[in-house]
Structure 1
Amino acid sequence: MTGVFSLLPEGRPGLLAPLLSGAWPAGGSEDHARYLAAGGYAPLPVPGRLLDRIDAVGLRGRGGAGFPAAVKLRAVRDAPGPSVVVANGEEGEPGSVKDRWLLRHRPHVVLDGVRLAAAMTGAERGCVYLSDAPAERAVRRALDERPSELRVDVVRTEHAYVAGEETAVVRRIDGGPALPTAKPPRPFESGVGGAPTLVANVETLARIALTHTHPEAAEAVAGAHLVTVSGAGTRPHAEAGAGGTVALAEVSAGTHLKVLADLCGHGRAEAVLLGGLFGGLHGAGWTDLPLDHDRLRAAGGALGCGALHFLHPEDCPVALATEAAAYLAAQSARQCGVCVSGTGALTDTLTAVARGHADGDATGRLRRWSQQLPGRGACGLLDAAARVVASLLTHFPDRVDAHRSAVCPACADPAPADGRRFTVPVP
């Protein structure tokens, strides 16, 4: 199964409100009339009640960190002065397509989420932040169809790995470059124009809208995830791009990765890269991992943005880690010296390992850096690079050692720094 599909179980209330609905023409965008007919833009609730419901069902942010949505909403609500709500649709992770898909095909559910988040926080301004041209056209059409009682601006940025980081979002909306800034303050304290600002992923806002529209299904809505699945794949009808077989699926929390791998043509996979480039590599035992923030964290990984890249027997995890490090080094904002030097050192040393040129201490240096570098940059890019390296050494020590004594065909060419292995098209 490839393309776009839902795995929400039969008979569950969550089927009342799937985000990956097929209720509009193939390739098209859900219009205002269809969204209204499905119960969208329901009258504004008592803000505290909706916030309590979001808290009760445990909705977490879908941008990568999995932070409780209610906590962020309350922090902005309780800050002094008028606030701002930002729908963050800039997908920095090259292996994720869910946010662009939502903005292209379901802009109204996102805008409804902005409206509701503004009501809960007392915001007087909204903003949709993105880099995708088709998504921008769809959002502007939706705003023309239903002029908002809230001022909603659309801000376009250039695509980059760090451009979706929350302080980079604020900086770009305020007219600066889309580059992270030092924290504190965080946006909920001082964000767009100095106002308390909620920077929320577009899927998070869409699930807030569905929670309001379908309160009877709130728990199922909060527990479902949009997941981008990619990898080499062998299915003849795959949505194939540089990232191979691609699918966007809506699945319930707790779904095992093996289920997704089998459905999406990756049943032969021997490993998986979790959470885009942030969750690390997992080898033996990956089939038992569930889509669950806490359980993946306990296993040393992270769900992140829900991007899963499967490695098949012919794929070399050393080559993948080297390409990931090279891409992250190239995407560095170059504002933090430790990030520039750290990602560069990781990439150079991994490249030497991959090409069979590493000295005897290379593995020790990689292990030491992967432990020392996390948390030292202004954003999560350096952490992602360190996690990829640490997970490679943890899950594939034998494969790393094998590169000392034999030439690896998969590592023969220099690692590209453009992220082509991980980049996938929007289904």
Structure 2
Amino acid sequence: MTTIRFPTAPSPGSVLGAAPHVTESADAYRATGGYADATGPDELLHRLAASGLRGRGGAGFPAAVKLRAVRERGGVPVVVANGEEGEPGSVKDRWLLRARPHLVLDGLVRAASVTGAVRGYVYLSDPEAGARVRRALAEREPHLPIEVVETAHTYVAGEESAVVRRIDGGPALPTAKPPRPFERGVGGAPTLVSNVETLARIALIAARPDLRDRIARATLVTLSGGRGAPVLTEVPYGVPLRTLAAAHGTPDAAGALMGGLFGGLLDARALDLPLDPDALAAAGTALGCGAIRFLAAGACPVSTAADAVGHLAAESARQCGVCVSGTAAIRDAVHALCAGTAAPDTLAHLDRWSRGLPGRGACGLLDAAAGTAGSLLLAFPDLVRSHLGGPCPGCIAAFATAPPAGGHGRRLAVAVPEVADAASSRTPLPALKGTP
């Protein structure tokens, strides 16, 4: 079961709130300063730009720049809260919609005021989250018309052009760019597609400008793998990955799979990197959606890579021929390494694909598969070469409970923390020891 832990203690400006295991009511949210009208759209945009708030959907794009692009595009914009969480190792977005729907809705309304939008959508695939968002809308009907749009859960359904396509009545599949949604989105209007955590932080910055920088420079992370049970927590930028590994219960971690499936694999030496988007990008990895899967000492990273690329190949939208063939080729090559049946030229093929395939699909799925393969070769070269000599005991042990053909999602998936409806279930939560 996934637990929620405060890094130290509940504090103002935390996305976790005071009781993250209970769905927050409208009255409780108002009591913390939510839905206040003191901040105008121009002032809020200035605050967001000054804070340096980045999007939390994966790309880390500056939130103020994205809002301004929609605002200046002309026409009558649309705003979308994107809660479709495609990464199997991430739970933060579904938890937010279940536990703090008013915080997300407040952020969506504020984004609408900044951009001049006249309608909004909450886009998701989790039925429980959908029910709680609808109930929150009934508790406090916003000035902005907001519709909940549900979709089937897939890896690509949360890609911004897929979001627009689904809201417009089509399938949740990516489209070629340009145009991008800020240029032409829902119904042809300029559209802001913003991750729900990003919107939550916009609402918090509006309510607590005195905590602006702290709010912008903290992030929700989902920690899994290793020897510890999955954890959802909030940490400030700058915390070393090694500290998070120790706090999670894997102090001797052999590495990590970063950013869900988008940041690639890191070895143990790289765990000294700080949890900071710029520092991680400079090191060739990414924070992404904040999902970090630690590798236990003795675990084989090739089996983790096999899980990742196998899941990506299965989740391909099958619209781009290069993605279908490329992800399948990478999957088969990594699985052959696990089984000890790889040909002598397998590593050369993987290296070539990792360099040549990124950027050739309509979305980032192919990039993620190629990046995982490339990072495996870069972080663990000697260990990968040893797989050319025969079956790997570590891989055999990893696949013993679920074969590669169907076990990827089950091994990578993290359950959403339980969020109760009744306020009477409030109980103290443990702190995540080892973090600031």
TM range (shorter): over 0.9
Note the C-alpha offset of 1:5.
2.0
Instruction: Say which SS state the counterpart of residue 43 (structure 1) adopts.
Output: coil
State the partner residue of 1:19: 15
Q: 1:155 to 1:44 in 2, by over 3 A?
A: farther
State the partner residue of 1:261: 245
Note the C-alpha offset of 1:372.
0.1
Instruction: Say which SS state the counterpart of residue 416 (structure 2) adopts.
Output: coil
Note the C-alpha offset of 1:44.
5.4
After the TM superposition, which residues 335-354 of structure 1 pair with which residues of structure 2 at under 5 Å, given as runs? 335-354=319-338
Question: In the alignment, is the contact (CA less than 8 A) between 2:311 and 2:409 conserved in 1?
Answer: yes
Instruction: Say which SS state the counterpart of residue 419 (structure 1) adopts.
Output: helix
Q: Distance in 1 between matches of 2:2 and 2:96?
A: 17
After the TM superposition, which residues 316-355 of structure 1 pair with which residues of structure 2 at under 5 Å, given as runs? 316-355=300-339
Range 313-322 or range 415-424, more displaced: 415-424
Instruction: Say which SS state the counterpart of residue 309 (structure 1) adopts.
Output: strand
Deviations 1:355-413 (A, max 9, x none): 11111111001001100000000000000001100000001111111112242123335
Q: Distance in 2 between matches of 1:102 and 1:265?
A: 24
Q: Which runs of 5+ in 2 are unaligned?
A: 418-436
Amino acid at match of 2:194: A
State the partner residue of 1:161: 155
Question: In the alignment, is the contact (CA less than 8 A) between 2:357 and 2:366 conserved in 1?
Answer: yes
State the partner residue of 1:101: 95
Q: Distance in 2 between matches of 1:365 and 1:2?
A: 38
State the partner residue of 1:240: none
Note the C-alpha offset of 1:93.
0.3
Q: Distance in 2 between matches of 1:30 and 1:416?
A: 41
Amino acid at match of 1:424: V
1:129 aligned to 123, 135, 140, which one? Answer: 123
Note the C-alpha offset of 1:269.
1.2
Note the C-alpha offset of 1:2.
7.1
Aligned pair count reads: 411
State the partner residue of 2:5: 5
Question: In the alignment, is the contact (CA less than 8 A) between 2:341 and 2:391 conserved in 1?
Answer: no
State the partner residue of 2:278: 294
1:43 aligned to 37, 40, 43, which one? Answer: 37
Deviations 1:5-25 (A, max 9, x none): 2326x8xxx93211112347x
Q: 1:2 to 1:326 in 2, by over 3 A?
A: closer
Deviations 1:109-137 (A, max 9, x none): 00000010000000000100000111111
Instruction: Say which SS state the counterpart of residue 149 (structure 2) adopts.
Output: strand
Instruction: Say which SS state the counterpart of residue 232 (structure 2) adopts.
Output: strand
Q: 1:221 to 1:247 in 2, by over 3 A?
A: same
Q: Distance in 2 between matches of 1:169 and 1:4?
A: 29
State the partner residue of 1:237: none
State the partner residue of 1:32: 26
Q: In the alignment, is residue 419 of structure 1 matched against residue 409 of structure 2?
A: yes
Instruction: Say which SS state the counterpart of residue 404 (structure 1) adopts.
Output: helix
Instruction: Say which SS state the counterpart of residue 203 (structure 1) adopts.
Output: helix
| TM-score, scaled to structure 2 | 0.92
Question: In the alignment, is the contact (CA less than 8 A) between 1:327 and 1:416 conserved in 2?
Answer: no
Note the C-alpha offset of 1:354.
1.4
Q: 1:338 to 1:113 in 2, by over 3 A?
A: same
State the partner residue of 2:176: 182
Instruction: Say which SS state the counterpart of residue 389 (structure 2) adopts.
Output: coil
Q: In the alignment, is residue 70 of structure 1 matched against residue 54 of structure 2?
A: no
Q: Distance in 1 between matches of 2:321 and 2:209?
A: 48
Note the C-alpha offset of 1:155.
0.3
Q: In the alignment, is residue 408 of structure 1 matched against residue 392 of structure 2?
A: yes
Q: 1:44 to 1:189 in 2, by over 3 A?
A: farther
Question: In the alignment, is the contact (CA less than 8 A) between 1:284 and 1:395 conserved in 2?
Answer: no
State the superposition RMSD in angstroms. Answer: 1.5
Q: Distance in 2 between matches of 1:119 and 1:416?
A: 48
Range 373-382 or range 251-260, more displaced: 251-260
Q: Distance in 2 between matches of 1:161 and 1:44?
A: 39
Percent same amino acid at aligned positions? 59
Note the C-alpha offset of 1:266.
1.6
Find runs of 4+ consecutive structure 1 residues off by over 4 angstroms.
none
Q: Distance in 2 between matches of 1:392 and 1:132?
A: 32
Q: Distance in 2 between matches of 1:16 and 1:263?
A: 23
Deviations 1:333-360 (A, max 9, x none): 0000000010011111111121111111
State the partner residue of 1:229: 223
Question: In the alignment, is the contact (CA less than 8 A) between 1:6 and 1:18 conserved in 2?
Answer: no
Amino acid at match of 1:89: G
Q: Distance in 2 between matches of 1:358 and 1:72?
A: 45
Instruction: Say which SS state the counterpart of residue 51 (structure 1) adopts.
Output: helix
Question: In the alignment, is the contact (CA less than 8 A) between 2:11 and 2:18 conserved in 1?
Answer: no
Deviations 1:165-192 (A, max 9, x none): 0000000001100000000000000000
Q: 1:230 to 1:389 in 2, by over 3 A?
A: same
Note the C-alpha offset of 1:286.
2.5
Amino acid at match of 1:60: R
Amino acid at match of 1:368: R
Q: In the alignment, is residue 380 of structure 1 matched against residue 364 of structure 2?
A: yes
Question: In the alignment, is the contact (CA less than 8 A) between 2:161 and 2:181 conserved in 1?
Answer: yes
Question: In the alignment, is the contact (CA less than 8 A) between 1:254 and 1:292 conserved in 2?
Answer: yes
State the partner residue of 2:431: none
Instruction: Say which SS state the counterpart of residue 149 (structure 1) adopts.
Output: coil
State the partner residue of 1:120: 114
2:234 aligned to 250, 253, 273, which one? Answer: 250
Amino acid at match of 1:188: F
Q: Distance in 2 between matches of 1:316 and 1:282?
A: 12
Q: Greater RCO between the two (CA within 8 Å, min separation 6)? A: 2
Q: Distance in 2 between matches of 1:264 and 1:3?
A: 11
Question: In the alignment, is the contact (CA less than 8 A) between 1:323 and 1:416 conserved in 2?
Answer: no
State the partner residue of 1:241: none
